[in-house]
Structure 1
């Protein structure tokens, strides 16, 4: 006869959640290993901010109301302020801003063409999601740069971006026209993949690096989680 109850129960391993300190340390180590040199970081980040400003400018030009133009204009000003601060950092680091940024125009412009959207609503959510995503990404990547510059750079990307204003106009549009819900959700999911590709192109992978995916994955997992929270704030499925 089989003795069903004679065996001792196996030990149950309870998953341990990482503390914020553990997660931050892991993230910083991962990014430090793959961070580019300071001028490459600044050139790409500055041009991305310029792209975000241009996106917001297009959104302003086709906005349906004067109130929308004015409010979104403030978000554009914040993005341009970040761009100018990064340009100043390039100069401090001994580079020529235009020359340093020129290296990365093709990659960023290609993303920009993909992310423009078919109408004002898609353009607006592209601006909202990409501004948040890239500010988040570059703030994390800056943590892997030399200590004399990373604190200052993190502060630039963590500064206000006008995200709340953009979200309010998106929410109002969705409330007025519920059919936008599924279309914007699909657009946001598509945009996520393209943003990830552009972000990944900013990382430097040494030839000797092993287990690269495992090291980078926690960072991108956090970026995806932040993207999902932005979508959730609008009631959209990421």
Structure 2
């Protein structure tokens, strides 16, 4: 028998991923405009194009589930737009970190939720989230920026903490506001708040690993 709450959570998960892909495309396009070299512009344009592909694949899965893409994305405008408003990068390096740290945290959150969806949706989500084409690009450029001017390391470390703090706040807000997502995050019967807290602890641990890779955390 179909579970309406589970089905709603699946649509919410896909809607959040779709809107996240759209905002990542917009951020990458903006970063590309300020890229220091032509090669960087080309790389960011290519990565941005992959976000469009993700959006289209999620749209097709939503259509198979009988849901319109725009309808599925609409509940997440506020959370994503608030995140944008509170975390506007000031320069090229902060913009790169916004994509790597902010999007990385969101992807980890989606991955936690996707454990409890149907097989076809889970396979799609895992495939989309496995696309980490921008990771090496961001890490190499941020590390090069720090090597060129070690003074920026402190500022970027603070920026990383600000990004994860805001991302954590918005993720918790979305999980509370959307009953379907909450049900998926809880993992069904037998799950409790402790399990959810462990989930968010893993998200923070993954963030710390990213910051270490950037050379911004011991």
Same fold (TM over 0.5): yes
1:47 corresponding residue in structure 2: 19
Find the residue that maps to 1:178 and give its secondary structure: coil
Q: 1:88 to 1:219 in 2, by over 3 A?
A: same
1:117 corresponding residue in structure 2: 89
1:120-135 equivalences in 2 (<5 Å): 120-135=92-107
Equivalent residue for 1:217, pick from 186, 190, 197: 197
Find the residue that maps to 1:201 and give its secondary structure: helix
1:8-27 equivalences in 2 (<5 Å): none
Contact kept in structure 2, 1:140 and 1:154, CA below 8 Å = no
Instruction: Report the CA distance between 1:84 and its aligned residue.
Output: 1.9
1:88-167 equivalences in 2 (<5 Å): 88-167=60-139
Find the residue that maps to 1:104 and give its secondary structure: helix
Q: 1:68 to 1:42 in 2, by over 3 A?
A: same
2:155 corresponding residue in structure 1: 183
Does 1:233 find its partner at 2:205? no
Unaligned runs of 5+ residues in structure 2 are 184-188
Looking at secondary structure, tell me which structure has more helix per residue. 2
Between the aligned partners of 2:162 and 2:197, the Cα distance in structure 1 is 19
Instruction: Report the CA distance between 1:35 and its aligned residue.
Output: 9.3
1:3 corresponding residue in structure 2: none
Between the aligned partners of 1:197 and 1:210, the Cα distance in structure 2 is 25
Instruction: Report the CA distance between 1:227 and its aligned residue.
Output: 0.9
Unaligned runs of 5+ residues in structure 1 are 1-32
Instruction: Report the CA distance between 1:186 and its aligned residue.
Output: 0.3
Q: CA RMSD in A?
A: 2.4
Instruction: Report the CA distance between 1:101 and its aligned residue.
Output: 1.1
Between the aligned partners of 1:174 and 1:69, the Cα distance in structure 2 is 20
Equivalent residue for 2:54, pick from 43, 61, 82: 82
TM-score, with structure 2 as normaliser: 0.84
Q: 1:159 to 1:121 in 2, by over 3 A?
A: closer
Instruction: Report the CA distance between 1:139 and its aligned residue.
Output: 1.8
TM-score, with structure 1 as normaliser: 0.77
Between the aligned partners of 1:232 and 1:138, the Cα distance in structure 2 is 22
Larger Rg: 1
